[in-house]
Amino acid sequence: MSTNPTQPRVTVVDDSGILTAVMDVDIIQAAATRLMYDFAARSGDSGALESLSVQYISELGADAFGYVAAAALKLLATCVLEPILQVVDEVAPTIPMRAQLADAARNANETLR
């Protein structure tokens, strides 16, 4: 356990180097973890996902929500999706889930830019 009361902070500056925000990394990480699990637990309920988005934006503010959502996406990929893909690889190796996801990503990047 750390006895250092100083929490890690990140400063955000614009293109001119003017300070626009100071972000607390611990708060962002905690909110991202909660968001990840809240979204994963309600993945089949689009109404609940919409409500969660509104709830988190209201709680964090639109600017901080962007950082939290980016962190939550990474966590969702590593903590939820990857373990599921590993199970699919072992249990149903004939289902090319990783290849299908790669194709979907490639298609999205080619058509949605």
The pLDDT tens digits for 59-107 are 999 888 999 999 999 999 999 999 999 999 999 999 999 999 999 999 9
**Lowest-confidence segment of 2-6, 40-44, 68-72, 93-97 by average pLDDT:** 2-6
Alpha carbons 62 and 104: distance in angstroms, whole number: 28
Question: Are residues 50 and 8 in contact, defined by beta-carbon separation less than 8 angstroms?
Answer: no
- The fraction of the chain above a pLDDT of 70, given in percent, is 94
What residues pair up with 9 in beta bridges, in sequence order? 24
The CA radius of gyration of the chain, in Å to the nearest whole number, is 18
For residue 6, what pLDDT is reported?
Answer: 57
* Domain map (residue ranges) of the chain: 9-111
pLDDT (0 to 100) of residue 5: 56
Paired residues of 13 in beta bridges: 19
Q: In the predicted model, is pLDDT for residue 4 greater than 70? A: no
- Over residues 9-20, mean pLDDT: 83
Q: What is the pLDDT of residue 36?
A: 98
pTM for this predicted structure: 0.80
